[in-house]
Structure 1
Amino acid sequence: MKRKVIQIADSTQLISLPRKWAKKLNIKKGDEIEVVEDNDKLIISTKSSAIELMRTSLDITGFEEIIPRLLHSFYKNGFDEVELLFKDPKVISKIQKSLRDEMIGFEIVEQRPGSCLIKTIAGTNRNEYDSVLRRTFILLKLMFEGIVESLEKRDISQIQDLKLQELTNNKYTGFCRRVINKFGIRKDYPAIEYCIVEWLEKIADQAKYLCSFILESKENIKINKTTLNLYKRVLKLLNISYEVYYHFDLKKAKEGFLERKKIIREALPLFNKSESKRHIHYIVCITQIIADIIGFEYQLGIKNQKTSNLF
């Protein structure tokens, strides 16, 4: 549906509302409607069509071990209020830790014997999506740069701090997935966007596991030049992914796909060498995840641009 813009004086522009839509919702002169800016879109709604609060209640007795996963599911799916029922009062500390470490603006607001109520105390601002996602990319790049630098210097002093950055990544990616599920985003293909965010979290998970492995023994930070070079190329691949997402270029995406093949081809034979086996495992896993992200970025790129603009 198209509408012509009407110019009033120098600073005001108007468009008319579709008659059928306005009549259906009984919109009359003087009524207020809500207009939300969403980048290149305007979302127009009446108060009656505003997003309702999502509420739920769950008895978590017997599911104490998976409390973080349950809370993450509620958070990412856009729930605003969650009542948890339980028998063991000790679970409160686990709930509080999970909320504090990994969920932005989701907190316990009411606590009684056998139950607690969790609410969103700060509204989820969909306009923050782009800035939070960019911070996610940058955080991952810095995290991996720090790991590569530590491996090159054979210095574990910053590895523990790098490992903890995975929690921040969880906050960022959890927020982004909440926005996608609750509001949708400016992208026309939210499912692809969701997959990109999901895999960004998986990279941080693998980086955390790598940090844990390095901290197990001082010997684990001693790697040969071949393995170190592979890590540096994984970092390069991560940078390519960042560039392809924000400035799509088919040639750059192709470079990423080809680099992934080279890394895997050179890494797999090293599995036979016991001193490199665990490191090669992380190199292969992270490489494949990044390549999958570039694949999703490729899908977004070709959908959002005309073929003539791809090259």
Structure 2
Amino acid sequence: MKRKVIQIAGSTQLVSLPRKWAKKHNLMRGQEIDVVEDGERIVVSVDSSPPFEAAEVNASNLGAMIPRCISAFYKRGIDSLKVNHDNSSVVGTLHSALAKDTVGFEMLEQGENYCLIKHVGGVPSEFGAVLRRIFLLLNTMSDECISAFEKENYGLLKNLAFLEEANNRFTTTCMRYLNKLGAPEEFCKIGPLYLIIESLEQLGDQYKYICQHFSKIEKERTKLRKDVLELFKRANQLVPLYAEIFYKFDPGRVVLIRETRNSVVADAHTLIKKEPNYAEFWLVHHSIVLAQQVFGMVDALLVLKL
């Protein structure tokens, strides 16, 4: 369909809407419509609400993957999910899954061999605030870890489990937002932003694993050598550094991430040759993983910011 551009008042240009389309949607004089720029196209719509999406899955053979599958449907932006099954034990697993990361997902109907889950939380609107909260949570987890090791009190690490659960909820909410509504205006692409948020969720998992490993040896009061603790501190410096660059992009500081990661990995290999004890070995291991994970988010950051 072709339309001619009408020039009025010097800088204003108008294009008429198809009459058939306008009548179908009962457009009236003065009514607001949504206009979205999409490259060389302009998309005009009368309703900015995201489309309702439904899905159906058979959970009979999913076993331990049921919670991950429910989370995947949530992140995808599904509004109504019918879960078929041939074993009543699936229902309990579903309830447990819904109590974790899928904010707004509720089981509204339960039959003999199916359950109906619907999203009742509305459309999330505070993407930017939630994303900042994720970075703040990770900074807190980093600080709490270092404090526990400096005080040689591994029991303090148990509190990280609660922060990691909150991190899961926030990252899952952001991923659903992107799949449902697209990237906010201040970000140019969905792909790299989604990857960064998914990586931030995995970064929180690393602190959970640290908690799990060291809670097992809490009573042993194993000493940590100073050089091992300093390595862990350097690796953790990358977490707030990445957040700073994300909100105030500076190519020079991106180079600092690479240099810090390289030095952490090199020094970790040297420390492993010194036959560390059990606790030191795990802390060196987690130092490498943390440094690698933060560095792994750099490419997505460059795509987003350059």
| Same fold per superposition (TM over 0.5) | yes
Instruction: Work out whether residues 35 and 45 of structure 1, in 8 Å CA contact, stay in contact via their aligned partners in 2.
Output: yes
Q: Deviations over 1:241-298 (max 9, x none)?
A: 0000011111221211211111111112222324132221111011111112233223
The verdict on how the C-alpha distance between 1:83 and 1:266 changes in structure 2, with shifts beyond 3 A counting, is same
Question: Residue type of the partner of 2:64?
Answer: E
Inter-partner Cα distance in structure 1 for 2:7 and 2:99: 49
Distance apart, 1:63 and its partner CA? 1.2
Instruction: Work out whether residues 136 and 173 of structure 1, in 8 Å CA contact, stay in contact via their aligned partners in 2.
Output: yes
Paired residue for 2:298? Answer: 294
Tell me whether 1:63 sits opposite 2:62 in the alignment. Answer: yes
Question: Residue type of the partner of 1:293?
Answer: M
The verdict on how the C-alpha distance between 1:5 and 1:105 changes in structure 2, with shifts beyond 3 A counting, is farther
Q: 2:188 is paired with a residue of what secondary structure?
A: coil
Question: Residue type of the partner of 2:239?
Answer: L
Q: 1:101 is paired with a residue of what secondary structure?
A: coil
Question: Once structures 1 and 2 are overlaid, which stretch shifts more, 75-84 or 101-110?
Answer: 101-110
Paired residue for 1:25? Answer: 21
The verdict on how the C-alpha distance between 1:141 and 1:190 changes in structure 2, with shifts beyond 3 A counting, is same
Paired residue for 2:112? Answer: 113
Question: Residue type of the partner of 1:189?
Answer: K
Instruction: Work out whether residues 254 and 298 of structure 2, in 8 Å CA contact, stay in contact via their aligned partners in 1.
Output: yes
For residues 84-233 of structure 1, the aligned pairs below 5 Å read 84-125=83-124, 127-186=125-184, 187-218=187-218, 219=220, 222-233=223-234
The verdict on how the C-alpha distance between 1:50 and 1:5 changes in structure 2, with shifts beyond 3 A counting, is farther
Q: 1:57 is paired with a residue of what secondary structure?
A: strand
In angstroms, what is the RMSD of aligned CA positions?
2.8
The verdict on how the C-alpha distance between 1:132 and 1:296 changes in structure 2, with shifts beyond 3 A counting, is same
Inter-partner Cα distance in structure 1 for 2:35 and 2:94: 34
Instruction: Work out whether residues 99 and 107 of structure 1, in 8 Å CA contact, stay in contact via their aligned partners in 2.
Output: yes
Q: 2:237 is paired with a residue of what secondary structure?
A: helix
Question: Once structures 1 and 2 are overlaid, which stretch shifts more, 98-107 or 211-220?
Answer: 211-220
Normalising by structure 1, report the TM-score.
0.84
Q: Deviations over 1:11-68 (max 9, x none)?
A: xxxx76632x555733654384444999xxx985224x85321101111112121111
Q: Deviations over 1:209-251 (max 9, x none)?
A: 1110000112476321111111111221111100000111112
Inter-partner Cα distance in structure 2 for 1:3 and 1:211: 65
Inter-partner Cα distance in structure 1 for 2:145 and 2:246: 23
5+ unaligned residues in a row in structure 2: which ranges? Answer: none
The verdict on how the C-alpha distance between 1:22 and 1:214 changes in structure 2, with shifts beyond 3 A counting, is farther
The verdict on how the C-alpha distance between 1:24 and 1:84 changes in structure 2, with shifts beyond 3 A counting, is same
Normalising by structure 2, report the TM-score.
0.85
Inter-partner Cα distance in structure 2 for 1:166 and 1:4: 56
